């Protein structure tokens, strides 16, 4: 593995007395695509929220570029180089495409990704930059959400369920850009319920069950059967 960008050690996330994530350790390197799979309620989204600083109470260490960021506010974490593409897209509906993208640019760190790069990845957004995002299709909205994340010039991009509710042809179009992002040296974490899709692009994966990692490895070296058994906890 390349030099570790994200180094999580023994992380737990609490909601009141409930422990949604229980002692998870994982690493993501620069230019590496890591897939996190698991059934509904396995703790995937809680893990994402913890990394970005929106999870409430956590225990353990979230190392990013060698520093513990687990107690930092989200705005600082984003400026340090982590961006989240949240589940359900979560765009700002009364803002235009360009304004939504601008928000990403403003909150992030300065870097080489600008509007031109995003419009090159998603040409349709250039055509619709002046439109309100609520007038776009679901797939185009997801492109805006990805673009907003990329414009923050992250070193690590967290993608939470980016294929949810989209047609297969649209999903394929979105996943097409993952290698292009990785080739820029950006680490990518993909959280998906669609195992096939996310394992196909991942260098490594972690499988979560009830808040714990119960399997990790490289997709190429792990049988589908073994993944399925751990996914369902059998």
Secondary structure of 160-210 in HEC code, one letter for each residue: ECCCCCCCHHHHHHHHCCHHHHHCCCCEEEEEECCHHHHHHHCCEEEEEEC
**Does residue 93 touch another protein according to CB under 8 A?**
yes
Nearer to another protein, 105 or 119 (CB): 105
**Does residue 201 touch another protein according to CB under 8 A?**
no
Contacts of 155 (CB under 8 A, 6+ apart): 5, 30, 65, 81, 82, 185, 186, 187
Q: Which of 31, 43, 108, 211 binds another protein (CB under 8 A)?
A: 108
Q: Which of 43, 86, 187, 211 binds another protein (CB under 8 A)?
A: 86
* Continuous segment of H or E residues that includes residue 107: helix 97-107
Nearer to another protein, 104 or 219 (CB): 104
**Does residue 33 touch another protein according to CB under 8 A?**
no
Q: Which of 99, 117, 194, 210 binds another protein (CB under 8 A)?
A: 99
Nearer to another protein, 113 or 227 (CB): 113
**Under the rule (CB under 8 A), what is the footprint of another protein?**
52, 54, 73-75, 77-79, 83-84, 86, 90-95, 99-100, 102-104, 106-108, 148-149, 152
């Amino acid at each position: 593995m390349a030099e570790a960008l994200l180094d999580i050690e023994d992380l737990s996330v609490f909601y009141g007395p409930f422990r949604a994530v229980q002692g998870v350790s994982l690493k993501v390197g620069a230019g590496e695509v890591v897939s996190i799979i698991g059934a509904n309620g396995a703790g995937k989204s809680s893990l994402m929220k913890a990394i970005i600083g929106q999870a409430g109470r956590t225990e353990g260490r979230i190392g990013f570029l060698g520093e513990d960021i687990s107690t930092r506010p989200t705005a600082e974490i984003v400026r340090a180089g982590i961006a989240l593409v949240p589940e359900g897209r979560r765009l700002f509906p009364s803002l235009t495409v360009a304004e939504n993208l601008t928000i990403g640019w403003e909150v992030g760190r300065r870097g080489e990704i600008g509007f031109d790069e995003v419009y090159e990845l998603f040409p349709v957004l250039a055509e619709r930059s002046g439109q309100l995002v609520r007038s776009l299709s679901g797939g185009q909205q997801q492109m805006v959400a990805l673009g907003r994340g990329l414009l923050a010039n992250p070193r690590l991009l967290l993608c939470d369920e980016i294929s949810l509710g989209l047609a297969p042809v649209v999903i394929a179009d979105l996943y097409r850009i993952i290698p292009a992002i990785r080739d820029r040296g950006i680490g990518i974490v993909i959280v998906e319920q669609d195992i096939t899709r996310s394992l196909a692009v991942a260098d490594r994966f972690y499988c979560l069950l009830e808040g714990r990692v119960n399997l990790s490895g490289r997709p190429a070296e792990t049988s589908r059967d073994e993944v399925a058994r751990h996914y369902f906890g059998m």
